[in-house]
Copies of this chain bind each other. A is one copy, B any other.
Amino acid sequence: MPKLGNQTWRFESEPRVVTTGTIAGRIESEGPLGSWFDVKLDKNGMQSHSWEHDEQSLFNQSANLALQKSGISPKQVDLLIGGDLNAQLSGFYFGLRDLPTPSLGIYSACSSSTEALALAGLALDSGMAHYVLAGTSSHNSTAERQFRSPTEYGVQRPSTAQRTVTGAGMALLGKTGSNIALTTATIGRVVDYGVTNPWEFGAAMAPAAADTLTAHLQDTGHSLEDYDCIATGDLGHIGHKILRDLLSEQGLDPGGRLTDCGILIYRPDQPEVFSGGSGAACSTLVTFAYLLHQLQSGRWRRLLVAATGALLSTVAAQQGETIPSICHAVTFERKDASA
C-alpha cells in the first residue's frame, strides 16, 4: 500500500535526488556550513534594484545550478514545485518564470521545502513526472518587509527571535540518477497552541513538529533509532528545547540524532542570529547542501527532515490572531547500487 497510516505517503518507486543547487547569503556563508553551499554571496546589501528581485535571482540561480550539474535541460523537466515567504509567492513565480516548465506554487511558510519535496515525490512515484525541480527561497530583507517593520526602524529583537535565512535551494529529482532516494512524506496537520507573539516562532512551531514526528513514527512503525538524523526545519535553540520536552512527555528520547536546521546554519556567536535561523530557505539550504551529503558519503543511511512553518500573516498578527503552525516531514535514504 502506498499510504501508511493516516498521514504518510510511501514512494515505492524510490525517486532519487539527482542534483541540488544552493546559493547562500553572506551571513549564512560565514556560518558553520558555509563551505557546503554551491554559491556563497560575499557581500550583504542589495545586489540589484530591489530585495525582491535579489531573492528571485537567487531562486533562479539555484534552479540553474541544479540543472547544470545534472546535464538535464529545462525542457526535460516536467514540473517545478516551490514557494517562498513573499505574498503571492513572487519569489517562486517571478524568479522562475523564464523556465518553460509547468509550475505548481505551494505555501506552508518554512515547511514549504518539505511540502514541495512531498509533492515532487508524489508526482514522480505516480509516473506523472520523470524530472521535477523542487525548492524554496527566502531573503532576510524581503521577509522583514513582508512580516515585520521597515528595517530602517531598527526594531530591537528579543532573544527568542530568529534570523530569516537569505538563500535558495532547488533539488532536481528523478526516477534514477543517484543513490539517494526520497522514500516517504508525512503530511502535517495545522496545530495551534495559541502562541500570539511573532517573535516566538520556535514555541509556536514545536507542537506541530511533535505532532508530525509522532505521526510519522506511528504510520511507518519505525522507532527513533531507525534514523541516523532527524532534522527539524527551523525551530531554533528555544523551539528545539520545547520539542525535546514535548517528545519526552510521550516517552521519546531522540538523543543526539535530533537536530534543527535553524541551529545548524549559524554559529551562536554570529551577530544577531538570536535563537537561530528561520525562513523557507533554512531547511532547504541545510538539507540540500549538508544533510544529504552525509547520506552520499555513507556516514548515514536514513535521514528524516521535518521542516516547520509558522502560518502567521502580517494582517492576522495585527488583528491579534494566534500563530497556527504546520510541519511536513520527508525521509531520504541511501540505497546502495547492489541493493
Which residues of A line the B interface, CB within 8 A? 1-3, 6-7, 9, 49-50, 52-53, 78-79, 83, 85-90, 93-94, 96-97, 99-109, 115, 118-119, 122-123, 125-129, 145-146, 187-190, 192, 311-316, 319, 321, 324, 326
Contacts and interface: CB of A to CB of B under 8 A. Distances in A.
A7 B104 CA distance: 12
B2 A126 contact: yes
A190 to B, nearest CB: 4
28 contacts: A1-B127, A3-B128, A6-B78, A6-B102, A9-B128, A50-B319, A52-B319, A83-B107, A86-B313, A87-B146, A87-B313, A87-B315, A88-B107, A90-B316, A93-B311, A93-B326, A94-B321, A97-B190, A102-B189, A103-B188, A103-B326, A104-B106, A104-B119, A105-B106, A105-B115, A106-B107, A122-B122, A122-B128
Contact of A190 (B96, B119, B311): B96
A86 B316 CA distance: 10
A107 B89 contact: yes
Given A2-B127, A105-B108, A122-B123, A187 B313 contact: no
Given A2-B128, A52-B315, A104 B108 contact: yes
A3 B128 CA distance: 5
Given A103-B187, A146-B87, A187-B104, A52 B316 contact: yes
A122 B262 CA distance: 32
Nearest to A96: B190
A3 B127 contact: yes
Contacts of A125: 126
Contacts of A86: 313, 315
Most chain B Cβ neighbours within 10 Å, of A49, A79, A115, A189: A189
A126 B115 contact: no
Most chain B Cβ neighbours within 10 Å, of A106, A188, A190, A319: A190
Contacts of A3: 78, 127-129
Given A52-B319, A105-B107, A87 B190 contact: no
Contacts of A189: 100-103
Contacts of A93: 190, 311, 324, 326
A71 to B, nearest CB: 20
A87 B324 CA distance: 14
Instruction: Across the A-B interface, give the 10 residue pairs with the lowest CB-CB distance, nearest first.
Output: A87-B87, A102-B187, A88-B313, A126-B126, A97-B190, A93-B311, A90-B313, A2-B127, A9-B128, A105-B107
A129 B87 CA distance: 29
Contacts of A105: 106-108, 115
A79 B187 contact: yes
A40 B97 CA distance: 39
B94 A324 contact: yes
Contact of A188 (B1, B102, B106, B188): B102
Contacts of A115: 104-105
Nearest to A100: B189
